[in-house]
Structure 1
Amino acid sequence: MFGRRNGGLFADGKPTLAQCDPEFIDLFSAFAYDEVVHEPGANHPDLDDATRSMAILATLIGSQATDAYGMLLPVALKSGVTPAQAKEIVYQAVAYCGFGRVLPFLTITNDVLADQGVGLPLEGRATVTADTRAAAGEAKQIEIFGEGMRGFAHSGPEDTRHINKWLADNCFGDYYTRTGLDTRHREMITLCYLAAQGGCEPQLTAHAKANIAVGNDKAFLIAVVSQCMPYIGYPRTLNALRCVKEAAAAAE
């Protein structure tokens, strides 16, 4: 997917970053698209170009990096991310980032896909109905987090119990049951949304545990976080790695 980028990063008739900041672009490109990609400790057999791209797209959404997302989405599509996968990454982000913060990314995605000749709307991916979403969501929670999630939607203090219900029927029922991404990829991108946002460490640790439970082992998660580091910086990367290590220790 990635290699050193010697051309401009933007081509809208205005001077490109490569023209205005050539030294910085060379520095960043050499690091993010060469050193990070090829660093042995930041790689994993399951982290192919398409998977790396999905993680980075989710990270850019979580960090509200609209310009970088618009720049890298076409690269991700060339690297094997399908239009359906790109759309699912954006859709699922609503549950973790909120519609207000995700809407610009949906618009960018539609623009990029249309520019590439992809017919919209894409084929529907829903597998649940209004009558089945709650049960399907609970089943998905149990699959990912274990039997302790059975009945979770009806648990907790009465005044906030509706949030638990929404987590089951909306977050997991509406989104995680969709086709286009499997459960391992859905948990991976959730980890990326949370790591990129910052301030979500309890949820990040919980989803690191969930990742491990569905087959994304500690080494894979370290590789994912490492590949996303250029886009979120060292502080949030180190926080995410701490959460991954705490989750792995708990799973031993």
Structure 2
Amino acid sequence: MALTPQAHETLERLFGSPVPTNPTDPELFDILQNEIFGEVFSSGVLTDVERELLTVTALTAMQTLPQLAAHVGGALNVGATPLQVRETIYQCAPYIGFPKTLNAIATANQVFTDRGIELPLEEAGTVAYEDRERAGAAIQTPLYGDEVKQVFASLPEPFGELVPHLLTAGAFGDFSTRGVLDVAERELISLVAIAAIGAATQLRPHVAGAIKAGCSRQKVAAALVQVMPYIGGPYALTGLVLVANYDENASSEAYR
């Protein structure tokens, strides 16, 4: 099987020449490259930068670090800034945990170092530690309401208050308030990270959250299709079913 012209052009744009090959399993490599870089990359409304940042998200969540290194380089090649790449990885932390995030940051930083990019990158935090709860709630509440507080209120003390606090001050206060990426971009990254780890219960509220943050249904669908070849069909299709049946008037039913 030969590469399609579209796949070949996309691969050269992302990774340069010569196009990556696999001499031990060339057939599989051709199949995946034609699907990802031919068909998927030519569909939907995403830019090359958006596609690569979402791919970085999926690979970060799955901890496929050799492929992550390649796509960090691809993201830089098509115009993403080092700060955009770093913030994409940071945004995954509430969903995949800090150890995996540290692994991904180490991988990205090695790519930056190899390209002569000085580390550490400039800071992008905008909120003082003591203001995290307030600032996080200002983002969280319009998108998700107060359902998290309601759902976890019956936990034994102190967790009925601590768990909602950690979600508000952490996921939203520590990360969604940061610069470089806007809230809509961060919600799309969060959705892809959640899809990549198969957290089906959280997919429904985060599909709604991405749309409420300003992403169109077409863009949310495009994001899930973009990462489908990386995370696998079942995980992506679970999210796509929710996009197909999205009702803006329905409750998000978060964490239920």
User: By the TM > 0.5 criterion, same fold?
Assistant: yes
Q: Distance in 1 between matches of 2:152 and 2:99?
A: 29
Q: Distance in 2 between matches of 1:62 and 1:69?
A: 10
Which of 12, 17, 23 is equivalent to 1:19? 23
The equivalent of 1:156 in structure 2 is 153
Q: Residue 153 of structure 1 contacts residue 167 of structure 1 at CA under 8 Å; is this kept in 2?
A: no
Q: Residue 153 of structure 1 contacts residue 168 of structure 1 at CA under 8 Å; is this kept in 2?
A: no
| SS of the residue 1:181 aligns to | coil
**CA offsets 1:97-118 (integer angstroms, 9 cap, x no match):** 0112222211101100111111
1:131 deviates by 1.7
Instruction: Normalising by structure 1, report the TM-score.
Output: 0.86
Alignment of 1:141-180 (within 5 A): 141-146=140-145, 148=146, 152=149, 156-157=153-154, 158-159=156-157, 160-161=159-160, 162-180=162-180
The equivalent of 1:249 in structure 2 is 247
Aligned residue pairs total 236
Matched, 1:188 2:192: no
Matched, 1:201 2:205: no
Q: Residue 137 of structure 1 contacts residue 172 of structure 1 at CA under 8 Å; is this kept in 2?
A: yes
1:156 deviates by 1.1
1:8 deviates by 6.5
Matched, 1:36 2:40: yes
Q: Residue 18 of structure 1 contacts residue 25 of structure 1 at CA under 8 Å; is this kept in 2?
A: yes
Q: Residue 11 of structure 2 contacts residue 19 of structure 2 at CA under 8 Å; is this kept in 1?
A: no
Q: Distance in 2 between matches of 1:169 and 1:94?
A: 13
Matched, 1:3 2:1: no
**RMSD value, Cα:** 2.3
Q: Residue 207 of structure 2 contacts residue 239 of structure 2 at CA under 8 Å; is this kept in 1?
A: no
The equivalent of 2:6 in structure 1 is none
Q: Distance in 2 between matches of 1:29 and 1:7?
A: 14
The equivalent of 2:109 in structure 1 is 110
* Unmatched runs of 5 consecutive residues or more in structure 2: 1-8, 251-256
| SS of the residue 1:95 aligns to | helix
Matched, 1:69 2:47: no
Q: Distance in 2 between matches of 1:122 and 1:31?
A: 35
Q: Distance in 2 between matches of 1:68 and 1:226?
A: 18
The equivalent of 1:13 in structure 2 is none
Q: Residue 57 of structure 1 contacts residue 69 of structure 1 at CA under 8 Å; is this kept in 2?
A: yes
Q: Residue 137 of structure 1 contacts residue 168 of structure 1 at CA under 8 Å; is this kept in 2?
A: yes
1:135 deviates by 0.8
Letter in 2 for 1:69: L
* Unmatched runs of 5 consecutive residues or more in structure 1: 10-16
